[in-house]
């Protein structure tokens, strides 16, 4: 698969959030030739076949040593990697799925991202039946890549992807994609106002000595009181069960699409090659902010 040329740009592709993150670093250098770009993106030559049998488009990044790109929640600085795909009539795709990120930075300047080669997945939500032998795919990809300084990257990718199950990718990636929480785990949200608490707990015995962390995802209208994390569980010493109680604030005026969610990852272990589990909790009883000028 041929990678299109990389367009290094200094304008704010992601809006003021990315511009602010880049400004916080040292000044952005002059545009960098594609051959020397510290991060490049390419489409996989086949659709990915997930463990549940569904299909996805894979966008693979190659990242130079000591550089990193970002997860959906970049943390205290940075900007999320974004992928927008175009498909023929009769096909549709969902939002990007991010693999487990690495915990970067310091407690004072925490960020989440990827410092090695990584694969992002865009799930196919509908397709013709039976599947044609191939599908033409386009992908517009934007990212921020940082070391001492930051560069904004963009690539317009095009490819004819093989859809045959016999050639689809079935192996996992490193870092791994999130999986659902085990059935023995429980997720609840306490409270009915704008101040609430996310409680995540495991009622079954857990491996002795295991390290568990929770990192919040970026959700419009949700502000975790403890910052960007990562959050350690509040469990008794020596306990073989774990519980998080994480307060957060709902900001109704910032909710997008009328639905508020609390999202994040439960990390098993501290290495980005270890498993992680997705939390995606829809909130109820949201009080809408009054319209401006209302009495």
Spatial CA neighbour of 83 closest among 143, 22, 8: 143
At 86, which CATH number? 2.60.40.1250
Of 144, 167, 190, the last residue of a domain is: 167
**Torsion sign (Cα): 88, 119, 102, 53:** positive
Q: Based on the domain organization, do 36 and 152 belong to the same domain?
A: yes
Q: Based on the domain organization, do 267 and 223 belong to the same domain?
A: yes
Of 104, 139, 167, the last residue of a domain is: 167
Judge whether 166 and 265 are in contact, CB under 8 Å. Answer: no
Q: Based on the domain organization, do 88 and 209 belong to the same domain?
A: no
Angle (nearest 5°) at CA 39 between 3 and 145: 140
pLDDT in single tens digits along all 295 residues of the chain: 333 333 333 334 344 334 444 444 444 444 455 546 899 999 999 999 888 889 999 999 999 999 999 999 999 999 999 999 999 999 999 999 999 999 999 888 999 999 988 999 999 999 999 999 999 999 999 999 999 899 999 999 999 999 986 455 655 567 899 999 988 899 999 998 899 999 999 876 666 667 899 999 999 999 999 899 999 998 765 566 789 999 999 999 999 888 899 999 999 988 888 999 999 999 987 765 544 454 4
Residue 141 lies in a domain: yes
Q: Based on the domain organization, do 37 and 160 belong to the same domain?
A: yes
Spatial CA neighbour of 145 closest among 243, 223, 37: 37
Answer yes or no: pTM beyond 0.85: no
For 194, the domain range is 179-282
Spatial CA neighbour of 173 closest among 111, 221, 107, 119: 119
């Amino acid at each position: 698969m041929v990678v299109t040329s990389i367009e290094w740009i200094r304008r704010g592709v992601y809006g003021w959030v990315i511009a602010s993150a880049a400004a916080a670093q040292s000044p952005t250098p002059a545009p960098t030739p594609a051959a020397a770009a510290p991060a490049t993106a390419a489409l996989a030559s086949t659709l990915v076949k997930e463990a549940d049998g569904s299909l996805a488009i894979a966008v693979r990044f190659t990242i130079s040593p000591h550089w990193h790109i970002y997860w959906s929640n970049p943390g205290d600085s940075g900007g999320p990697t974004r992928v927008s795909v175009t498909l023929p009539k009769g096909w549709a795709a969902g939002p990007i799925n991010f693999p487990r990120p690495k915990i970067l930075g310091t407690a004072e300047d925490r960020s989440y991202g990827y410092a090695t080669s990584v694969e992002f997945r865009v799930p196919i939500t509908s397709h013709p039946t039976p599947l044609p032998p191939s599908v033409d795919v386009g992908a517009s990809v934007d990212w921020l890549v940082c070391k001492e300084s930051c560069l904004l990257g963009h690539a317009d990718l095009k490819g004819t992807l093989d859809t045959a199950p016999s050639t689809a990718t079935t192996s996992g990636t490193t870092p791994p994609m999130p999986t659902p929480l085990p059935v023995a785990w429980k997720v609840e949200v306490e409270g009915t106002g704008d101040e609430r608490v996310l409680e995540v707990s495991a009622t079954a015995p857990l491996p002795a000595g295991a390290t568990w962390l929770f990192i919040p995802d970026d959700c419009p209208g949700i502000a975790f009181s403890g910052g960007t994390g990562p959050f350690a569980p509040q469990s008794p010493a020596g306990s073989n069960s774990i519980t998080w109680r994480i307060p957060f604030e709902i900001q109704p005026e910032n909710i997008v699409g009328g639905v508020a969610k609390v999202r994040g990852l439960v990390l098993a272990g501290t290495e980005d090659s270890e498993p992680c589990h997705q939390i995606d909790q829809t909130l109820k009883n949201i009080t809408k902010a009054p319209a401006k000028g209302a009495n």
